[in-house]
Structure 1
Amino acid sequence: MAQLALSPSRASDYQRCPLLYRLRAIDKIPEPTTLPQVKGTLVHAVLEEMHKKNRSERDFPRAVKKLKPLWAEMVNKDPELNELVPEEDLYDFLVECRSLLRGYFEMENPQGFDAERCEMYVSTTLPNGVPVRGFIDRVDIAPTGEVRVVDYKTGKKPLPRYSHDATFQMRFYALVYWRLHGVIPHQLRLMYLKVIDSMFLTPSKEELEFFERDLGDLWEKIVADGLSGTFRPRTSKLCGWCSHQSLCPAFGGTPPEYPGWPGPQQALPLATGDGAAAYTTNEDA
């Protein structure tokens, strides 16, 4: 079994429900693909393709024309998408995707700059021993050296009190980028294409160091559950949308037999307040 690493999605899973984390990250129980997921995947693919083109080719009509061929590629790779979006619903589905692309072009002129990287895969181990990985939608570097990390959102913009997952994700990628490249991004931008609105963050060194310590604490809890096999369920209003209720004790279900922790079986480094590393054994974790 492959070694685990922390990503924004898996961190959110554990904070929401440790059992959900286990079922997704360790057991890898299949889940049904949702319409919002495939819509987001298609729009992201179009924007990635567009930013690879010359500036003069980055316009709305050309972007819209990429929807059908990229959707055909997605269906070719996963024919079950035809069941999720049957032929009679395809037109309306593509119209919704076109509307999201229109939102992008109303927020930004892609002919005015060149993206440094799109769908940038990042993977490293933080100084406190936490393995991290993920994909950054886009990284821009200004001629003067400032770095901007951009993430596209195709759903609704959350109310401020529900924006934790979004800000967590952006701080996560800012931290990973900093640790990989030695540069703290000057701006983090979440582009909510559906509502044509953005959320901006400007991280500081102190903020990212504090966030890094939080990740260390979170990873310590995950490892402790992983070694003991505990991963207790945590109920909330979001349980109604969970596809794993049949495997959840909180709903009368039984989880599959625990396959064991796929992570390291040696001492785990933990960040201390002075930035040095302390260590705990697996038994202590």
Structure 2
Amino acid sequence: MTATLETSRPGETGPAERTTAADSAPRRPSLSPSRAADFKSCPLLYRFRTIDRLPEKKSRAAVRGTLVHTVLEKLYDLPPAERTVAAAQTLVAPAWDELREEPGVAELFEATDGEQPAEADGLEAWLESAGQLVETYFRLEDPTRIQPQGREELVEVTLPDGLLLRGYVDRLDVAPTGALRVVDYKTGGMPREAFEGKALFQMKFYALVLWRTRGVVAAQLKLLYLKDGDALTYAPDEAELLRFERTLQAIWAAIERAVATGDFRANKSRLCSWCDHQALCPAFGGTPPPFPTEAAAAAGWRTTLPLAVTSD
């Protein structure tokens, strides 16, 4: 299937989908942190996003997350001494000029019928909020003292059982000793302690892939929450990553069973408030479209469902 892409829901907690030239090439089915989270929260949502590939509306929060990630990525293109708050703020406007050319982005700030044409005011406040998030970053780290080895880097590995894991790391730091630090930027607020495990799921995913590809367990997993200026750090160990690997394999086995039978159940929760697919969801009185058997088979999925028969 086509490559799984990093997304977040609700959008302000991470970047919007990211693609590269490699992503447009045919690939076999794979698992990313976001798609694993989709299946855990609602198997039907996983199907709509990954198998049916139904379109979803962009949101200002999601696009702001993409903008902030872009600025922080480009910040490290500058020489260390020039990585200042002022320099980072100058990167916001050109990054927005590029981002607004993407389909569905500019229209987020267009006036709808019956509204006053307040695009300029709304956009100005929105850009200012993005700039504030960028400024908050400097309270958490000193970029003049950091030289990343990787930014927005695709990491992937095929496990011995054939499961392909893929994901994008916001930033990868390597110390002179060889110690790894995995950093992820979040434009939302830090979760309560009870939900920290869910937040670290993505980071353990990256740590597992890096361990399997480099033979080194990351010394630190670091989540930077730019909304409130907090950081969450964690140090995994080999035993934990082995357990996490088995968790991913169990998730993947459940996904394969669902694809084989076409049985993706809806799971109603508070996350439904952000879902674009309520009209097609049985939990809200909707009816899902027929399972796209041909598309699934063409993408490399194994299914026991019969292919549709068409007549000339």
Q: TM-score, normalised by structure 1?
A: 0.90
Match among 37, 46, 57 for residue 62 of structure 2? 37
CA RMSD of aligned residues (A): 1.6
3-state SS of 1:52 partner: coil
- Within-5 A mapping of 1:138-217: 138-217=171-250
Q: Counterparts of 1:144 and 1:164 in 2: how far apart (Å)?
A: 28
Q: What's the offset of the Cα at 1:34?
A: 1.1
Is 1:55 matched up with 2:80? yes
Is 1:116 matched up with 2:149? yes
**Greater displacement, 123-132 / 53-62:** 123-132
Q: What's the offset of the Cα at 1:162?
A: 2.2
Q: What's the offset of the Cα at 1:128?
A: 3.2
- Residues 88 and 82 (structure 1 numbering): CA distance in 2 closer, same or farther, change over 3 Å? farther
Count of residues paired in the alignment: 267
Q: Counterparts of 2:57 and 2:255 in 1: how far apart (Å)?
A: 25
Is 1:81 matched up with 2:105? yes
3-state SS of 1:84 partner: helix
Contact 2:29–2:301 at 8 Å: present in 1 too?
A: no
Q: Counterparts of 1:223 and 1:49 in 2: how far apart (Å)?
A: 39
Is there any run of 5+ residues in structure 1 with no aligned partner, and where? 267-281
Q: Counterparts of 1:186 and 1:241 in 2: how far apart (Å)?
A: 35
The residue that corresponds to 2:36 in the other structure is 11
Is 1:28 matched up with 2:61? no
Q: Deviations over 1:179-202 (max 9, x none)?
A: 112111110000011111111110
Q: Counterparts of 2:161 and 2:232 in 1: how far apart (Å)?
A: 29
Q: What's the offset of the Cα at 1:235?
A: 1.1
3-state SS of 2:31 partner: coil
Q: Counterparts of 1:125 and 1:53 in 2: how far apart (Å)?
A: 35
3-state SS of 2:185 partner: strand
Contact 2:67–2:95 at 8 Å: present in 1 too?
A: yes
The amino acid across from 1:241 in the alignment is W
Q: Counterparts of 2:122 and 2:273 in 1: how far apart (Å)?
A: 26
The residue that corresponds to 2:112 in the other structure is none
Contact 2:259–2:302 at 8 Å: present in 1 too?
A: no
Is 1:242 matched up with 2:275? yes
Contact 2:189–2:227 at 8 Å: present in 1 too?
A: yes
Contact 1:130–1:215 at 8 Å: present in 2 too?
A: no
**Identity value in percent:** 44
Q: Counterparts of 2:86 and 2:271 in 1: how far apart (Å)?
A: 38
Contact 1:4–1:25 at 8 Å: present in 2 too?
A: no
The amino acid across from 1:112 in the alignment is R
Q: What's the offset of the Cα at 1:139?
A: 0.2
Q: TM-score, normalised by structure 2?
A: 0.82
Q: Counterparts of 1:193 and 1:128 in 2: how far apart (Å)?
A: 38
Contact 1:58–1:111 at 8 Å: present in 2 too?
A: yes
Structure 1 segments, 4+ long, off by >3 Å, are 261-266
Is there any run of 5+ residues in structure 2 with no aligned partner, and where? 3-27, 110-118, 306-312
3-state SS of 2:165 partner: strand
The amino acid across from 1:196 in the alignment is G
Q: Counterparts of 1:103 and 1:50 in 2: how far apart (Å)?
A: 14
3-state SS of 2:76 partner: helix
